[in-house]
């Protein structure tokens, strides 16, 4: 069993598709074992995306991520990190496969509805950025 962190970003909350995003994971047998709605401060968004701090889109991305509430969740399943990224689709919705969350709902490369960790190391770091073991019901 593996865990990953997913986030319904402010555009997904704004479009009122929190439930649709979660359904896309649950329909594939992925379990939600932790979940919370919160608003990221700019500082907290910057900390979360610190690996991208030198990218030209860092300020825009962290402004966007702190522009409204998000839903953070811990997901569990076999090979869940890769499977969640597959269900999300490519970062750029124009390149995302048909039927993926980003293909169906995202408006652009930044406002792309959903986050998913990209490696076991980053999943562990990202989960602990938002959740203590007590908040997780695996
Ligand atoms: P992800 O793992 O597919 O989410 O993509 P990355 O880790 O590469 O980027 C993190 C997030 O930054 C993406 O989900 C987008 O919201 C945003 N992002 C990535 N590339 C770009 C870009 O070229 N321009 C802008 N404005 N935002 C980007
Ligand atoms: Mg990433």
Residue 69 maps to which CATH number? 3.30.70.141
Instruction: Please report the pLDDT score of residue 138 as a whole number.
Output: 73
Nearest to 60 by CA among 70, 52, 51, 72: 52
Domain of residue 83 covers 2-135
Q: How many domains does the chain have?
A: 1
Ligand 1 mean position, distance from CA 19 (Å): 23
Residue labelled with tokens 């908040």: 135
Q: Is the CB of 90 under 6 A from ligand 1?
A: no
135, 31 contact by CB (below 8 A): no
Q: Is the CB of 4 under 6 A from ligand 1?
A: no
Task: Find the radius of gyration of the CA atoms of the chain.
Answer: 14
Decide if 52 is catalytic.
no
Q: Is the CB of 107 under 6 A from ligand 1?
A: no
118 Cα nearest atom in ligand 1: 2
- pTM confidence score: 0.98
Each residue's pLDDT, cut to its tens digit, for the chain (138 residues) gives 999 999 999 999 999 999 999 999 999 999 999 999 999 999 999 999 999 999 999 999 999 999 999 999 999 999 999 999 999 999 999 999 999 999 999 999 999 999 999 999 999 999 999 999 999 997
Give the closest residue (by CA) to ligand 1 atom 16. 110
Ligand 2 mean position, distance from CA 51 (Å): 9
Instruction: Please report the pLDDT score of residue 83 as a whole number.
Output: 98
Q: Is the CB of 109 under 6 A from ligand 1?
A: yes
Convert the chain into a string of H (helix), E (strand) and C (coil): CEEEEEEECHHHHHCCCHHHHHHHHHCCCCEEEEEEEEECCHHHHHHHCHHHCCCCCHHHHHHHHCCCEEEEEEEEECCHHHHHHHHHCCCCHHHCCCCCHHHHHCCCCCCCCEEECCCHHHHHHHHHHHCCHHHCCC
């Amino acid at each position: 069993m593996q865990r990953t962190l997913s986030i319904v970003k402010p555009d997904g909350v704004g479009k009122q598709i929190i439930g649709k995003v979660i359904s896309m994971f649950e329909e594939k047998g992925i379990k939600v074992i932790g979940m919370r709605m919160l608003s990221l401060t700019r500082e907290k968004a910057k900390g979360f995306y610190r690996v991208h701090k030198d990218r030209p889109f860092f300020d825009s991305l962290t402004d966007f991520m702190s522009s409204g509430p998000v839903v953070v969740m811990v997901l569990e399943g076999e090979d869940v990190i890769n499977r969640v990224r597959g269900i999300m689709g490519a970062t750029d919705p124009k390149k995302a496969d048909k039927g993926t969350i980003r293909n169906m709902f995202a408006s652009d490369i930044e406002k792309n509805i959903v986050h998913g960790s990209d490696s076991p190391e980053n999943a562990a770091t990202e989960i602990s950025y938002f959740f203590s073991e007590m908040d997780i019901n695996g």
